[in-house]
Amino acid sequence: MNKFRARVTLPIVHAIADSARFARRLARSLEAPFAPVRTHPFPDGETLVRVSHRAGVEAILVQSFDGPDRKLMPALLVADALRRAGARRVTLVAPYLAYMRQDSVFRSGEPISQRVFGECLGRAFDRVLTVEAHLHRTRRLGDVVPGRARSLSAAPAIARWLARRGGGAIAAGPDEESEPWIRAVARAAGVRWVVGVKRRLGDRRVRVRFPELPRGARAVVIDDIASSGATIAAAVRALRERGVRTVDAAVVHAIFAPGALDLIRRAGARTVVSCDTVEHPTNMIQCAPLVSAALGSAR
């Protein structure tokens, strides 16, 4: 009877189709039920959502925000539907959280997109969890999203993948900003690390320099996000120019604009892998266990 009661109190994990794979992994890790969200598109472009939820039970919505403009409104509608269905609490798990770069007004007439997006989610959900929010001058996700919000580090998951690749590899960060993160990955994986100096020349033009490295070494360029691919490609090229024999690349969020993956490969990357925060053929590193552990500790 006690086991039955314990299972009744488990949250129900929900997701729209484009985030269902991560949601199913998370549900398995939590040993919780999964309930897909049904959607119906209207001819005028609006979306109807329909959920199946049990009153009095916590709801977890999994929604990754690659392509955020088309995904935000359905997520807000699901949050409302879950509350009307009697959810005790509604948690958003956003493996990838968009609009975190614009944390200031850089030119007159611009918004602070980070604040607008974060406040919108904070009003709709009781708590928000994401993986490696792309924060620069903002210290905590809770400063952006009102209420309970947390950005989880993907360093442990990447470190486990890196450790399985065998010893001798060098973890390489493309810029000084990545140093704390690269150091954490390298220490957990038991490998050496190095950080480059980056100079951005434009949206798709980047130059990276690394210090002297042992010729013939192996390196893995690690970054939190790949969009244009320019930064990772420049880092791969710079390492090859330093005499590094084999260079791989690992990213958390595989946004990959058209042509980005080819750009990285042409620069000399042998393999390119990513975490599963954004569904992509390069997904090799699972983050659902990290999220599951965080949800369990916060209950």
Which stretches of the chain are assigned E, i.e. beta strand? 12-15, 34-36, 38-41, 47-50, 59-62, 90-94, 127-131, 148-152, 169-173, 192-195, 197-202, 205-209, 218-226, 246-254, 269-275, 283-285
The CATH fold of domain 155-276: Rossmann fold (3.40.50)
What pLDDT is recorded for position 7?
Answer: 47
pLDDT class of 105 with cuts at 50, 70, 90: confident
pLDDT class of 167 with cuts at 50, 70, 90: low
Which stretches of 143-217 are assigned E, i.e. beta strand? 148-152, 169-173, 192-195, 197-202, 205-209
Query: Residue 282, by phi and psi: left (phi above 0), alpha (psi -120 to 50) or beta?
Result: alpha
What pLDDT is recorded for position 2?
Answer: 45
pLDDT class of 166 with cuts at 50, 70, 90: low
The ranges assigned to domains in the chain are 2-154+287-297, 155-276
- The per-residue pLDDT for range 189-212, each reduced to its tens digit, is 999 999 999 887 666 678 899 998
Beta bridge partners, 226, equal 254
What backbone phi and psi angles, to 5 degrees, belong to 245?
Answer: -70, -50
Q: Would the pLDDT of 6 be above 60?
A: no
Q: Which of 71, 198, 253, 280 is catalytic?
A: 198
* 175 vs 8 pLDDT, higher one: 175
CATH of domain 2-154+287-297: 3.40.50.2020
Is 158 in contact with 222 (CB distance < 8 Å)?
Answer: yes
Residues in the chain: 299
- Structure-block tokens of residue 261: 């993956």
Active-site residue, 198 included: yes
Q: What is the mean pLDDT of the chain?
A: 91
Is 198 in contact with 175 (CB distance < 8 Å)?
Answer: yes
What pLDDT is recorded for position 4?
Answer: 42
Helix then strand then coil, in percent of the chain rounded to 5, is 35, 25, 35
> Could you tell me the sign of the dihedral formed by the alpha carbons of 210, 216, 217, 219, in that order?
positive
- Structure-block tokens of residue 191: 């490998």
Q: Would the pLDDT of 91 be above 90?
A: yes
Q: Would the pLDDT of 8 be above 60?
A: no
Is 114 in contact with 107 (CB distance < 8 Å)?
Answer: no
- The per-residue pLDDT for range 231-283, each reduced to its tens digit, is 999 999 999 999 999 999 999 999 999 999 999 999 999 999 999 999 999 99
Is 278 in contact with 64 (CB distance < 8 Å)?
Answer: yes
- Asked, colleague to colleague, whether 2-154+287-297 and 155-276 share their fold, the answer is yes
How far is residue 128 from each of residues 75, 94, 298, measured CA to CA in Å? 12, 7, 12
